[in-house]
Amino acid sequence: MYAGAVAPALILGGAAGVDTVGMGVLVSGALIMAGIATLIQTLGHRTIGAQMPIVVAASFVPVGAMTGIAADAGLPAVFGASLAGGVFALCLTPFFGQLVRFFPPVVTGTIITVIGLSLMPVAVGWIIDGNTAIVSGEETPVPAMGDLALAAVTLALVLLFSRVLPGIFGRTAVLLGILGGTLVAAALGRVDFSRVGEGTVFSPGSPFHFGPPEFQMAAILTMCVIMLVVLTEGVSDLIAAGEVTGIRLDAKRIAAGLRADVSASLIGPIFNATPGSSFTQNIGLLALTGIRSRYVVAAGGGILLTLGLFPVLGRVVAAIPMPVLGGAGLVLFGTVAASGIRALGRVDYSDSLNLIIVATSLGFGLIPLAAPGFYEGFPPTIALVLHSGIVAAALSAIVLNLCFHIIGGRRRATRPPGDEARDGTAAQPSRTA
């Protein structure tokens, strides 16, 4: 779970080109945000926080859009868009339970699949680690054999731990694989801890470390679309957690839980963190361990918050060789795509319109991966929005589902998010997540 909680920060920091100290700030911010939001979700008031054993941590949903914003406008624009998107989402929470019918599995499954596929180039880039070679007379990104070997060793360790560790321990496979890969790299002299000692060991956060937030319309519009997906993900997780714990959820409790999720988007930018949502992996752990107490999970939130108060730990994470992260990222990001594919498996394809929705939306989502400059000729605002394959896929899936299944009263052939929890088919997280 730790690896999943800090991975979005590592991706964003890499896209923004921050140094080791800056990466430490991002990792610490992600942990501080996760700790505070988890405490709100587990111990909060009846109007904010579902008071259920749910962990809130950085979501992978906004990652693709945020890296594009960071590359074009910098981290202040990312955090400004996150704040604006959080306010937008907060306004929707009272009645989002009624809007969730616009996000059946044919929509959410497509979006999550594109999220995973969009993250794959990040893992590959980590493995390549900036190396190039002349291929057919052109300079081409090519991994060095040493980097490729490190990534392969890390991947092999992740797979090995996934296979041999039983039950709950198998969920630590990614973290253990990264640790093992780092030890191998250290033995080969490939780890540089020289900058770990820079900066403070303990810090109660570093508000707006990268500058005050900037509010750019295109970035804000992009994040507002993303927050619709984050809210949908949150509803599904709350319902699934309710089924696992035996807690009956009404509309008010769902809204309170969503407000706790949104709090991560409002608190996060202050501490240089990205938007968060209920962590699906946590729900799987509840089912495996039988733990039902929200106070146990609240203690976990306290641990996350404590870890975030030590930026030196973030700098240690930032010192991990990129090829090691790349090897683990292949599994971690592939798990995200696999979760989307699992959701798409619940779609009724006997209705050909569902097939059209998935096919068209996947096509739009993969355009930026296949041709990164495809939208360069569009107006700047539109280009920035569509440059994220995740946003393009989300817009396509939402609009097509609206046109094919909502307008005109045509009956949908898919179940709304959360129904799978009632009949025992709730998607369980991968053991390696």
Rg (CA), the chain: 21
**CB 123: neighbour CB atoms within 10 A?**
24
Lookup: tokens for 32:
């501080």
**CB 7: neighbour CB atoms within 10 A?**
26
Pairwise CA distance, residues 9 & 252, whole Å: 32
Cβ-based burial of 3 (10 A; exposed 0-12, middle 13-18, buried ≥19): buried
Which among 415, 381, 322 has a CA at the least distance from the CA of 127?
Answer: 322
Answering whether pTM is above 0.85, one says no
Which among 175, 143, 108, 122 has a CA at the least distance from the CA of 328?
Answer: 175
Helix/strand/coil for 40:
helix
Instruction: Show pLDDT as tens, one digit a residue, over the chain (433 residues).
Output: 677 789 899 999 988 999 888 998 999 999 999 999 999 999 998 899 999 999 999 998 899 889 989 988 999 999 999 999 999 999 999 888 677 778 889 998 999 899 889 999 999 999 999 999 988 888 899 999 999 999 999 999 999 999 999 877 887 899 899 999 999 999 999 998 888 888 788 888 789 999 999 999 989 999 999 998 889 888 878 877 887 788 888 888 989 999 999 998 899 999 999 999 987 667 767 766 677 899 999 999 999 999 899 988 888 888 899 999 999 999 989 988 998 899 899 999 999 999 999 999 999 999 999 998 899 899 887 887 788 888 899 999 999 999 999 886 555 444 444 454 433 334 433 434 4
Which among 130, 62, 132, 160 has a CA at the least distance from the CA of 321?
Answer: 130
Q: Which are the contacts of 284, defined by CB distance < 8 A and separation ≥ 6?
A: 171, 428, 429, 433
Tokens 């798409």 identify what position? Answer: 344
